[in-house]
Copies of this chain bind each other. A is one copy, B any other.
């Protein structure tokens, strides 16, 4: 299977703790790096995770709270010091460019590369990125200001050619593409070789869904259905549900219920409030509802 790895750079919430950096993740899809949120210290954690700045071209910011974007200034400045030339794309709810520009202009007198800001609307799901192998769609969330999660979906890939079989039947090279797409092969003497003798099925396309920060929302279920991995914020333990509601956040078992209802394969919870010394409490509460839950953790890397 092609590479699809998630790296957690930070999974705390706004208040700093001795354990956590604020929110940032990197999704590595076939060695293209997609950063999701960029809290303070994201560039330091990026280096610690031994990721390559040159592979990073797209950053997705869920919402304009400081703990999700204060790392941008440092990261952008570092890329400039490194003499980057490739364009950097930043996708976020509108307003970010105007906020960053005065500081970027002052602190980076000469930019070696261009930043393309791509503001997105936050009310309806929208396709905001697409390449040959993956799409990124926004997941409208409900927080104290416009917020979206992101759904990273692999495109269906073609069947894999069984080289020894195509050699055996002497399939000409110009037929291979058709066969990858599902066609049978007809030999010169008219025998039909069915496609399933020549190929094995493509790996099922994978999905990673990221939902932070938000009230628990039934409306996301349809979009994240069957995801291979769901990251959902679980800022609070169940006993702090009133506080979660008041601040537009989710509790551990609320996140787990969504994972259950959406039938995702695995759930990763994070964005922990600084009030919990021991987050295993959150893990327990979530696992009661959805056993395949784990806790996010700095420098954790997960194969999807």
A interface, CB within 8 angstroms of B: 14-18, 21-22, 40-41, 43-44, 46-48, 50, 64-67, 70-71, 73-74, 77-78, 81-82, 95, 99, 102-103, 106-107
Contact = CB atoms under 8 A, between A and B. Distances in A.
Given A40-B44, A74-B70, A64 B106 contact: yes
Nearest to A41: B41
A17 B67 CA distance: 21
Contacts of A70: 73-74, 77, 107
A16 B81 CA distance: 11
Contacts of A95: 106
A67 B78 CA distance: 10
Given A14-B81, A77-B14, A99-B103, A44 B47 contact: no
Contacts of A40: 40-41, 43-44, 71, 73-74
Q: How many copies, total?
A: 2
Nearest to A71: B40
A103 B44 CA distance: 22
A68 B99 CA distance: 20
Nearest to A39: B74
A106 to B, nearest CB: 6
Contact of A66 (B18, B21, B77): B77
Given A16-B43, A41-B44, 13 more contacts: A14-B78, A15-B78, A15-B82, A16-B46, A16-B47, A16-B74, A17-B47, A18-B47, A40-B41, A64-B107, A65-B107, A66-B107, A67-B77
Nearest to A76: B66
